[in-house]
Amino acid sequence: YVLPSIFRKRSDFELHKVQDMDVYWIKGDGTNDKIKILYLHGGGYTSDPLPFHWGYILAMKMRTQTDFFVPIYPK
């Protein structure tokens, strides 16, 4: 999976491997460090997230000021 180009330049996106699964960590601003959100984007656990999902995640990050974790489902 390749993160859409509009989001690739953002410094708050980090790609990590968790048990052989790619997981994006979208960092909040640090004011809400006690809460972390695991965002499951749907797609029957087989489809990749769409640009809409990333826009929604960024909007929610701004509102909640917390970190989001987004797994990329294995194929």
Mean pLDDT, the chain cut into blocks of 10 residues (75 residues total): 85 90 91 91 88 93 93 91
Contact 62, 54 (CB under 8 A): no
Question: Cβ contacts of residue 49 below 8 Å, gap of 6+?
Answer: 1, 41, 43, 70, 72
SS3 34: coil
pTM assigned to the model: 0.88
Q: Which structural domain, as residue segments, surrounds residue 62? A: 5-71
The predicted pLDDT at position 9 comes to 80
Number of domains forming the structure of the chain: 1
The predicted pLDDT at position 31 comes to 83
